[in-house]
Amino acid sequence: MKLKNINVGLGITGSFCNLSNLEEIINELKSEGVKNILPIISYSIQEETNRFGNPKETIELLEKLTDNKVIDTLSKAEPIGPNNLIDIMIISPCTRKHTCQNGKCYN
């Protein structure tokens, strides 16, 4: 991949069983030369404790690995677009349901 010097928004959704992959995903992005990773979490990630972890631990891990504060509200996310804070957005996990639109699926 050609990610050198790219600013990435990393959207973390409520598929809790996939939280264990976060560290691997972030380390892989860093190894590809990503300039900055901005963690953006859904409401369920910030509020719901489950058998795969709790919000506090997840947020601490994300902030430690990315060296950025987690974006966890709409008002914190609003400046991203107008200020060109990211070049691409990665949604993790992004299931087949989310990658299919109008009967077309994109891999």
Q: All domains of the chain, ordered by start, with CATH?
A: 7-105 (3.40.50.1950)
Question: DSSP per residue over the chain, as a string?
Answer: ---TT-EEEEEE-S-GGGGGGHHHHHHHHHHTT-SEEEEEE-HHHHH--BTTB-HHHHHHHHHHHHSSPPB-SHHHHGGGTTTT--SEEEEES--HHHHEETTEE--
**pTM, rounded to two decimals:** 0.82
Per residue in 2-60, pLDDT (tens digit) is 789 999 999 988 776 677 788 888 999 999 999 999 999 988 888 887 787 788 988 99
